[in-house]
Amino acid sequence: MKLINPKISYVLTNPVSFALVVLKAFQANQGLLLAGAVAYYALLSIVPLLILMVILLSQVIDQAVLLATLVRALEYVVPGQARAVVAELKAFLDHREVIGWVLLITMLFFSSLGFKVLESAISVIFLHRVEKRRRHFLVSLLLPFGYIFFIGTVLLAGTFVIVDLVAIGGENLVVLGHSWSLGGFSRWLIYFAGVLGEILLISAIYYFMPVGRLTAQHALIGGATAGLLWEIIRHALGWYFGTLSQVSVVYGSLTTAIIVLLSLEVAATLLLLGAQVIAEYERVDISGVPKAPVPMRTEAS
């Protein structure tokens, strides 16, 4: 009786070999090209998605509080550009009377595009699953809207959590006659709550996007790993764009869009690479020998 799963044993004893298999499969699947497509459509989706969420959630939460929460949340996605994105969002919301049913449906369609393209990219990564079982087209049609609802729910819950934590930060802890402000403690709690929300969103993508669900354990491990790596990368990106980058000199008024697109490209690459790790782990034989990667094929090939 083996106490350790043979797949885990293989990965732990051959980490370099497994990493090379993952990178080779990622290249065979045109991973960077897929990440570019996901980033482009995410850029198209992000503003209409946020507009819809603010319009709906402002029915139960003050709009100013909601926008302040969005600034914090967007810092986890587009470091250094959250305030610029929210400023554009607020400018549109100041003229919300122009929103009719046609525009509302159009924004809902564009909001779903990013998730639809992400689903297609994930299906390429998990091609071995698609070959065995295909998802019903109605499920694929409704899945992006399910993610929109899920993100809205997380944003709603996150707003209440942040409001409570900010309130805690305004208090003082008095022990034996000494008073300490809880502001620093509150800021750390808000940061870790944001990281937790980020990990949950990534884990949900890994759990629901592939055809046939992953185990919750694999999705959570993948989400935690990708989330923590993204935290390191986004801080590096924020520092680079804020100190060394000359993007504003080259692109001028397009600077915000370019930086957001580059951030989304890096995030999408990391997300798809994490999915590739999970896919290759699934495809390791019980004997511990990885199967040859299955490259993406087009009709022409």
The two three-digit tokens of residue 194, written as one number: 């944001």
Q: What is the pLDDT of residue 299?
A: 46
How many Å apart are CA 65 and CA 238, to the nearest integer? 24
Looking at the DSSP bridge assignments, the partners of residue 179 are: 174
Whether 103 is in a domain gets the answer: yes
Number of neighbouring beta carbons within 10 Å of residue 129: 19
Structural domain of residue 116, as residue ranges? 12-173+181-283
pLDDT one-digit tens code per residue, 105-145: 888 888 888 888 998 898 888 877 666 667 677 777 888 88
Question: What's residue 65's pLDDT?
Answer: 85
Give the bridge partners for 284, in sequence order.
290
**What CA–CA distance (Å, rounded) separates 162 from 168?**
10
Query: Sign of the CA dihedral 3, 18, 33, 78?
Result: positive
Burial of 247 (0-12, 13-18, 19+ CB in 10 A): middle
Residue 296 within any structural domain of the chain: no
Q: HSE, CB side, 13 Å, CA atoms: give it for residue 99.
A: 15
Query: What's the CA gap between 288 and 271, in Å, rounded?
Result: 25
**262-272, pLDDT tens digit by residue?**
999 999 999 99
Q: Report the pLDDT averaged over residues 226-241.
A: 88
The answer as to whether 288 is a domain residue is: no
For the segment 154-195, what is each residue's pLDDT rounded down to a tens digit? Answer: 888 888 888 887 777 666 655 666 666 666 777 888 888 888
Q: What pLDDT was estimated at residue 288?
A: 47
Q: Say whether 178 sits in a helix, a strand or coil.
A: strand
Domain count, the chain: 1
Between vectors from CA 223 to CA 110 and to CA 112, what angle results, nearest 5°?
10
The DSSP call for residue 215 is: P
Residue 224 included in any domain: yes
pLDDT at site 278: 85
Confirm whether 234 is domain-assigned.
yes
Number of C-beta neighbours around residue 199 at 10 A:
20
Model pLDDT, residue 178: 61
Overall residue count recorded for the chain in this entry: 301
Is 247:241 a contact under the CB 8 Å cutoff?
yes
User: How far is Cα 247 from Cα 259, in angstroms, rounded to an integer?
Assistant: 8
Token duo for residue 33 = 């090209």
List, in sequence order, the alpha helices (H) in the chain: 6-13, 15-28, 31-57, 63-74, 82-93, 101-125, 127-130, 137-169, 183-208, 216-243, 247-251, 255-282
- Quick check: 10 and 283 in contact, CB under 8 A? no
- Residue 205 covered by a domain: yes
Asked if the structure places residue 290 within a domain, the reply is no
Give the mean model confidence (pLDDT) for residues 241-262. Answer: 79
Residue 295 lies in a domain: no
User: What token pair was written down for 83?
Assistant: 């305030």
